[in-house]
Structure 1
């Protein structure tokens, strides 16, 4: 696995390493390939892009340096062919910084906001949020130019990051700053859900914690425990893994969407069908025992199927899955690569709550004045 906290994951201060971390957090490669293929189709105005091209073979091999350079080349060609001038973007002699890649993803995403034209309030909130995000990009560009012109050393660079992310750790540990950066990204997307769509991001419920004998319970493990609580404990049912597996299996057997993806599976329409009494959960049990990261497909098979069966919206979007995975990857990395204790990891990820407060404070400042204080 790529070291997600290592310098060199792509130029950036606020968004350092975002693209690599984002892709690393999507385990079902078909989804990440399809995501990237659609971006490339937009940039090149061509539908003649297939998954067997070299770009996607490199993506499957997780050669992100090649992918980023190819993306840069395609973007440069797109601007040249369409005679588009962008004085803030010079990609002729360097790879794009992380903020530029994100900004151009969002540029095309923002064009889809027209679907909310019948909901002017949502459209207005979305435009305000993306203006706030763009303010981050502008500051990131300024910082990168400043770093380049002054040849800032590593010590000053780390101090700069600590100031931006309000690091209170007196040891000024690089990994702690890295955790705060990941938490800040998640807080930005949490604000997006909360402000635009009035939905919960649910990530704060799945921060790592200590288990028996001080064992680290990662974000994805915590998410599963919370799922058990939501669908079993709150319903007054027995809450353990075996009961959760049966709950999921019964939901799958009665779910039309699940059946459409797995036509070989039975679709039961009679709630009194005897097959629902004690369904075979051996396959689900094995899958959960091997589960480290959530793929979009498996998340739908397990958790969205439960959601549809319950008739209540609990989980929000694919981006939630990505940040659940991203947090879990970082926690495992801190444990295995940096030998951080479970207690240190749990304490560090509490900074997500601090970053939520910081992001909301900055957003309120931005809404009032069109800018905010970086600290």
Structure 2
């Protein structure tokens, strides 16, 4: 098999890239002991559905659910119907309900752990939206997830961000919903780099520390209803500060796709669990590293995790919300789906130069599981861009 191919740089220059030696990850299938590790999972588009690909793209259920079985087989838990699944960016609430229903059933069939996103995305933000409407929207989605037997991930609300007048409105809405849940939930603080519509969440636009204090007040007032909080701010210092202020028994789930190895490893005052979109793309490496952590093999943990960071930072580069394209591209390169198409046409959200660099970084991290297939598929994508 040819171990090299021509890849493009910005400006159209081509260079020869030679693949490195293959790495083998052999993680156990047993659950992790030291950390809870959720992978937010992507959805696979059905390329043969005769539907509007921008507004009504359909899901390939067999491939989508097979990928969740792949994650469970590695010991990872699945975070379902989150932003990695293009929630609110191609995946609406109606299709999310079917995804949640199917995935919970599949999780039950293999004893896999799953938690599912519940938000307010069926309520369009607008000047006439009230706090009562936001509460009713949350109640509908939380009720659906719990009715299916799933744990809730309480997602940030664009509608609440648009209509809240200040911190007290967030405290009102969250306290009401948390007072009704049947089992502890995972809160989700998604930064505006992931979703610009969430700017100013918790009532403070330019003061993350003040926003954090509001969130902490809500958690402390409802600690028995909060399993943990996932924060996706791409700021390790802020996460560590908040982690140290959480009530006893409430977990910090890192959503920091730039700094996750150090945050999961932790320090003398604690550590973060994981709820990460990048774990979808680096699942075999993440699983092996977490098992090494369980053994106290810090060297192996670093050896496996460290090369994934450059890949993750590339995938999540600005505009950060376009990261889903890289996640799906990795699944395509590794044979988990037969095409590189996405709902909402999001395969076009990254340049061919970006995808070429992703290919090289994935190779250096040992995450191209079948080099021959990956080269073949990379060449297909290059050919579509006029690079033969």
Fold similarity call, TM over 0.5:
no
Shorter chain as denominator, the TM-score bin is under 0.3
Higher-helix-fraction structure: 1
Q: TM-score, normalised by structure 1?
A: 0.23
Higher radius of gyration, 1 or 2: 1
Higher-strand-fraction structure: 2
